[in-house]
């Protein structure tokens, strides 16, 4: 049955019935059916518009030309003519009769009308057009005309490939820079990013230039998986696009038969990595072929520079000089990796294939093998390319079978830039830069490699899960018991130090004492933990390693170091008893709050003097939220009835707080005028506030503070949450001595040092009431008229 007009869009979706997506091998058959149906429809249009006139043809490029058509893929069509058989007026009329029904169908159309000579000219001038025309295929009309254009373009591409290769490679790199790395994206661009569908056409173009062959085997299945994801995306979204958004992850995963969205993203990332690695090695081969054709004087012998351990540098790669040891030396892959990474050379594809044939290392590993592994990890910038090559041929999983569970595994926390496995390598690279700060850099690098190995499906606490996995791995690697226990400790506690620095009162000696107890009063263990903490945060990205977090960690580090070496810890910046400024005293006596704003690393410190009163903490928190400020930490104190509060804030817009506005707002709030919080009330009603029902956790940290009860609150962040917490604590008659505020990926991690009205720790009954009220206050609404207090 012939379909025309708007029926074509629904027809293509009908051909992509959801049942087919879960059948093995259905993807290629589905795309073939869609392509065949589309061509049949276009043939009917061509006959209606053009007839069977010689010297003119309708041809396809893009997804239809390559046979990759998805349910709603756009159409890239060329109306080709010989330049002499048809008048210009007739040609224009024919084109209009072709294009308008396609537009009416709702399918996206990229069209052109060109003579055979114009096709050749465009291909010579435009690299992307040349690559597209290599796949020019007949839809209807003069078959010989289309075959001639394709043959001419292919001949020109081959003859000019060596001179155009640098420009071609540069254009590919520029596209990757614009669209990023597909394997590391949570909302991946399936087409344009590195490792996407466009790169498969680049691989084909390079091989058609007769410069090189491409790696076979893995690329085909990888392409099929990406095309299946794109097809499912078309069905789920009802649009012919290539970016997989977060809200579509679950539906696409279900349509493809994946267990969850993480499994889907892992498949996408793995496919992209395979294509990207194939592209990189193919472009190197093409470059080598180009250089080999340069006229040389004398015999044409390969230039082989010895690197050691049987490896040689040859034309930008590390190659094995002989395969004599391949079947007998299990350490050869480690040796080759170390040599190549130190010289910042990738291992040649054939060398990788040979290394994959080496025997497995005996269990447990001997010291030489462990030393080679840590040497490889310490190789610096050359590690990533070498590790990726060894990973592609399965060598890494033979050293570390647990790597398979984290390879290409996505991380939904926006703090992280990379998949789990890539983050582990980034952490190793950052740890290498800190190796001089520790006595055992080998243990630091092993901990960096394994610190997130517990981020596997079903893990509730990846640190503890990772510690158990690391223990198994390190036993296999033959580490001495003391070293193994230390690395396991580092993996288990790799988040603890930064949490202590950002969520505990650094003026409280109990904080540094807890860290010392954690590391068993061992300075070496502490320095390793600190270095791992810094490496992990730097590898995650700028959101995880800010000036503010770095300064807090430095403060805690100084205290712990002095404590471990027997020297009294220095007083941190917020530790001294607050003093009332003379200038501020005059304002307070006159009944006005006094606000001072000082710039700090990554934000501003607000020092607020005011008459101590009920609700000051809640009012200040609400006012800062209303002004769009993010509170990072707060320290509150009272001196002779005068509140001296310090708030460290960041501004998403980059504008500093305005003291006069803060002063005016606090004055109005003290007088009972709640209009100053009007914008906060509007933000509460806005769409930016996520649901929090049932999500809050609040608990007491035993012995975490001296003379105060420490309550930790974890909740989904929302506008005014800190303000609500202040109201809740006030309603319970609780005084806040200090507050340590941290927000990451929409989750708050707030720690409050609180006392009763007499300045004493809370009793058991008061603790139970307070924790319950805090949970209710975070998960529900707080009545501002219920009471307030410090």
The closest alpha carbon to 540, from 454, 413, 664, belongs to 413
Instruction: Average the pLDDT over each of 368-377, 418-427, 483-492, 743-752 and give the range with the smallest value.
Output: 743-752
Return the SS3 of 587: helix
Q: Which residue has the higher pLDDT, 310 or 447?
A: 447
Question: Averaged over 125-153, what is the pLDDT?
Answer: 93
pLDDT for residue 10 is more than 80: no
Return the SS3 of 479: coil
The pLDDT score that the predictor gives to residue 571 is 36
pLDDT for residue 730 is more than 50: yes
The pLDDT score that the predictor gives to residue 214 is 67
Quick one: DSSP state of residue 69? -
pLDDT tens per residue, range 458-502: 888 999 999 999 999 999 999 999 999 999 999 999 999 999 998
The pLDDT score that the predictor gives to residue 642 is 84
Q: What is the largest CA-CA distance in the chain?
A: 101
Number of alpha carbons in the 13 Å side-chain half-sphere of residue 684: 17
Question: Averaged over 423-443, what is the pLDDT?
Answer: 91
In angstroms, the CA 702 to CA 711 distance is 9
Q: Give residue for tokens 């770095």.
A: 550
The CA-based angle 705-707-711, given to 5 degrees, is: 50
Angle, helices 523-540 vs 496-503, to 10°: value is 80
Question: Averaged over 26-53, what is the pLDDT?
Answer: 88
pLDDT for residue 686 is more than 60: no
The whole-model pTM stands at 0.76
pLDDT band of 700, cuts 50, 70, 90: confident
Q: Which residue has the higher pLDDT, 707 or 270?
A: 270
Instruction: Average the pLDDT over each of 146-155, 183-192, 311-320 and give the range with the smallest value.
Output: 311-320
Instruction: Average the pLDDT over each of 301-305, 508-512, 649-653 and give the range with the smallest value.
Output: 649-653
Instruction: Average the pLDDT over each of 243-257, 260-274, 408-422 and give the range with the smallest value.
Output: 408-422
pLDDT for residue 14 is more than 80: no
Task: Sort residue 87 into left (φ over 0), alpha (ψ -120 to 50) or beta.
Answer: beta
The pLDDT score that the predictor gives to residue 574 is 38
Residues 6 or more apart from 546 whose CB is under 8 A from it? 602
Residues in the chain: 790
The pLDDT score that the predictor gives to residue 778 is 85
In angstroms, the CA 179 to CA 433 distance is 29
Is residue 408 a contact partner of residue 183, using CB atoms and an 8 Å limit?
Answer: yes
pLDDT for residue 684 is more than 70: no
pLDDT band of 301, cuts 50, 70, 90: low
In angstroms, the CA 503 to CA 495 distance is 12
Task: Sort residue 649 into left (φ over 0), alpha (ψ -120 to 50) or beta.
Answer: beta
pLDDT for residue 3 is more than 60: no
Instruction: Average the pLDDT over each of 115-119, 531-535, 597-601, 766-770 and give the range with the smallest value.
Output: 597-601
The pLDDT score that the predictor gives to residue 782 is 54
H or E segment to which residue 661 belongs: helix 659-670
CATH architecture of 582-786: 2-Layer Sandwich (3.30)
pLDDT tens per residue, range 511-521: 999 999 999 99
pLDDT for residue 262 is more than 90: yes
pLDDT band of 692, cuts 50, 70, 90: very low
DSSP characters for 345-391? -PBPHHHHHHHTTSPPPPSS--HHHHHHHHHHHTTGGGHHHHHHHHH
Long-range contacts formed by 381-386: CB under 8 A, 24+ apart: 381/344, 381/429, 382/340, 382/341, 382/342, 382/343, 382/344, 382/345, 383/341, 383/425, 383/428, 383/429, 384/425, 384/429, 385/341, 385/344, 385/346, 386/337, 386/340, 386/341, 386/346, 386/347
Question: Averaged over 199-209, what is the pLDDT?
Answer: 91
The pLDDT score that the predictor gives to residue 789 is 37
Exposure string for 5-29, b = 16+ CB within 10 A, e = fewer:
eeebbebbbebbeeebbeeeebbee
Question: Averaged over 246-271, what is the pLDDT?
Answer: 94
In angstroms, the CA 472 to CA 467 distance is 9
Q: Note the CATH number of domain 400-564.
A: 1.10.3210
End-to-end CA separation in angstroms for the chain: 78
Is residue 230 a contact partner of residue 197, using CB atoms and an 8 Å limit?
Answer: yes
- Percent of the chain past pLDDT 90, that is, above it, reads 47
In angstroms, the CA 170 to CA 156 distance is 20
- Percent of the chain past pLDDT 70, that is, above it, reads 88
Average pLDDT, the chain: 85
Sequence ranges of the domains in the chain = 7-161, 180-292, 400-564, 582-786
Instruction: Average the pLDDT over each of 505-514, 575-584, 774-783 and give the range with the smallest value.
Output: 575-584
Give me the torsion for CA of 188, 190, 191, 195, rounded to 10°: 90
pLDDT for residue 303 is more than 90: no
Instruction: Average the pLDDT over each of 189-193, 203-207, 308-312, 454-458 and give the range with the smallest value.
Output: 308-312
Number of alpha carbons in the 13 Å side-chain half-sphere of residue 212: 26
The pLDDT score that the predictor gives to residue 405 is 96
Q: Give residue for tokens 């395979």.
A: 274
Question: Averaged over 76-84, what is the pLDDT?
Answer: 93
The pLDDT score that the predictor gives to residue 656 is 84
pLDDT tens per residue, range 392-425: 999 999 999 999 999 999 987 767 789 999 999 9
Q: Note the CATH number of domain 7-161.
A: 3.30.460.10
> To the nearest 5 percent, what fractions of the chain are helix, strand and coil?
55, 15, 35
């Amino acid at each position: 049955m012939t379909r025309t007009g708007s029926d074509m869009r629904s027809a293509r979706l009908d051909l992509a019935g959801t049942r087919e997506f879960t059948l093995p091998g259905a993807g290629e058959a589905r795309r073939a059916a869609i392509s065949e149906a589309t061509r049949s429809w276009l043939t009917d249009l061509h006959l209606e518009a053009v007839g069977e006139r010689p010297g003119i043809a309708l041809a396809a490029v893009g997804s239809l030309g390559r046979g990759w058509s998805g349910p709603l893929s756009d159409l890239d069509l060329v109306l080709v003519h010989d330049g002499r058989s048809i008048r210009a007026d007739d040609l224009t009329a024919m084109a209009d009769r072709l294009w308008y029904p396609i537009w009416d169908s709702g399918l996206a159309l990229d069209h052109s009308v060109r003579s055979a000579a114009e096709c050749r000219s465009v291909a010579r001038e435009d690299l992307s057009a040349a690559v597209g025309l290599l796949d020019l295929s007949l839809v209807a009309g003069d078959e010989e005309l289309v075959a001639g254009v394709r043959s001419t373009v292919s001949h020109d591409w081959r003859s000019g490939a060596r001179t155009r290769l640098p420009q071609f490679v540069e254009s590919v790199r520029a596209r990757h820079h614009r669209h990023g790395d597909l394997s590391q994206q949570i909302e991946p661009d399936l087409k344009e990013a590195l490792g996407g569908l466009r790169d498969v056409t680049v691989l084909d173009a390079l091989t058609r230039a007769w410069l090189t062959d491409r790696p076979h085997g893995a690329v085909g299945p990888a392409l099929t998986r990406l095309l299946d994801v794109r097809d499912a995306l078309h069905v789920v979204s009802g649009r012919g696009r290539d970016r997989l958004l977060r809200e579509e992850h679950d539906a696409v995963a279900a349509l493809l038969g994946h267990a969850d969205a993480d499994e889907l993203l892992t498949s996408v990332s793995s496919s992209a990595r395979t294509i990207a690695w194939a592209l990189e090695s193919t472009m190197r081969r093409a470059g080598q072929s180009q250089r080999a054709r340069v006229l040389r004087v004398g015999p044409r012998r390969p230039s082989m520079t010895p690197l050691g351990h049987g490896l040689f540098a040859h034309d930008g790669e590390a190659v094995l000089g002989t395969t004599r040891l391949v079947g007998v030396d299990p350490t050869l892959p480690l040796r080759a990796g170390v040599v190549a990474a130190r010289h910042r050379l990738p291992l040649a594809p054939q060398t990788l294939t040979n290394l994959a044939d080496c025997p497995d290392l005996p269990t447990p590993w001997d010291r030489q093998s462990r030393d080679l592994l840590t040497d490889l990890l310490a190789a610096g910038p050359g590690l990533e390319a070498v590790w990726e090559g060894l990973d592609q041929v399965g060598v890494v999983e033979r050293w570390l079978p647990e790597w398979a569970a984290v390879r290409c595994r996505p991380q939904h926390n926006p703090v992280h830039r990379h998949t789990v496995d890539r983050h582990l390598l980034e952490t190793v690279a950052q740890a290498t830069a800190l190796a001089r700060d520790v006595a055992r850099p080998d243990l630091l690098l092993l901990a960096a490699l394994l610190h997130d190995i517990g981020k596997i499906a079903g893990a509730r606490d990846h640190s503890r899960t990772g510690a158990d996995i690391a223990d198994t791995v390190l036993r296999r690697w033959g580490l001495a018991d003391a070293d193994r226990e230390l690395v396991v400790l580092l993996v288990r506690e790799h988040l603890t130090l930064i949490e202590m620095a950002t969520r505990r009162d650094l003026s409280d000696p109990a904080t540094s004492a807890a860290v010392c107890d954690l590391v068993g009063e061992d300075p070496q263990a502490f320095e390793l933990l600190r270095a791992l903490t810094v490496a992990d945060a730097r590898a995650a990205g700028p959101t995880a390693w800010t000036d503010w977090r770095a300064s807090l960690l430095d403060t805690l580090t100084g205290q712990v170091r002095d404590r471990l070496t027997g020297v009294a810890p220095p007083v941190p910046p917020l530790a001294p008893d607050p003093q009332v400024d003379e200038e501020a005293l005059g304002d307070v006596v006159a009944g006005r709050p006094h606000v001072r704003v000082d710039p700090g690393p990554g934000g501003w410190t607000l020092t607020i003097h005011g008459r101590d009163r009920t609700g000051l903490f809640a009012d200040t928190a609400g006012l800062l939220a209303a002004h769009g400020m993010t509170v990072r930490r707060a320290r509150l104190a009272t001196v002779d009835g005068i509140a001296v509060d310090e708030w460290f804030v960041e501004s998403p817009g980059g504008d500093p707080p305005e003291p006069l506005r803060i002063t005016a707002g606090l004055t109005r709030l003290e007088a009972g005028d709640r209009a100053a919080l009007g914008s906060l009330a509007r933000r509460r009603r806005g769409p930016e506030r996520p649901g929090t029902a049932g999500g809050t956790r609040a608990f007491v940290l035993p012995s975490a503070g001296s003379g105060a009860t420490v309550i930790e609150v974890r909740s989904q962040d929302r506008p005014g949450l800190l303000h609500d917490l202040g109201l809740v604590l006030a309603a319970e008659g609780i005084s806040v001595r200090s507050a340590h505020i941290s927000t990451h990926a929409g989750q708050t991690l707030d720690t409050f040092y609180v006392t009763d009205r007499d300045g004493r720790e809370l009793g058991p009954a008061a603790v139970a009431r307070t924790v319950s009220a805090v949970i209710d206050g975070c998960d529900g609404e707080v009545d501002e008229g219920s009471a307030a207090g410090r």
